[in-house]
Structure 1
């Protein structure tokens, strides 16, 4: 798996995922909050399968 999630994207995914999971745990938004596992996982692993399918890469390109 090649990294395709950039720094800002990664932080947003982790925050949104954690908030959704927190809201699900407190019962505020119900079962749908567990969808937050997806953005949390993609943020932690720096890889998004949907980005790969669509050819999107938010990582900065390193100059070699």
Structure 2
């Protein structure tokens, strides 16, 4: 579907950041702005797990080894 353009350290960093943001949202139980942090955490987690970033495609960045 999408071209793979996320790899290596970039992938690991996205997954870790996504999990941390999701945990922050869960542990605060949706108090105020932290509810948005939970939702924002889905984006880096999904892009890290799927190995693709639509923004990278638009800008022309590729962190995968060829």
How far is the alpha carbon of 1:31 from its aligned partner?
A: 1.1
Instruction: Name structure 1 gaps, 5 residues minimum.
Output: none
Using structure 1 for the length normalisation, give the TM-score. Answer: 0.88
- Cα distance in 2 between the residues matched to 1:7 and 1:56: 14
Cα displacement string for residues 7-57 of structure 1 (whole angstroms, at most 9, x for unaligned residues): 110000000000000000011761121201000000000000000000000
SS in 1 for 2:58: helix
RMSD (Å) for aligned C-alpha atoms: 1.4
Structure 1 residue runs of 4+, over 4 Å off? none
Match of 1:38 among 39, 43, 48: 43
Instruction: Name structure 2 gaps, 5 residues minimum.
Output: none
Using structure 2 for the length normalisation, give the TM-score. Answer: 0.86
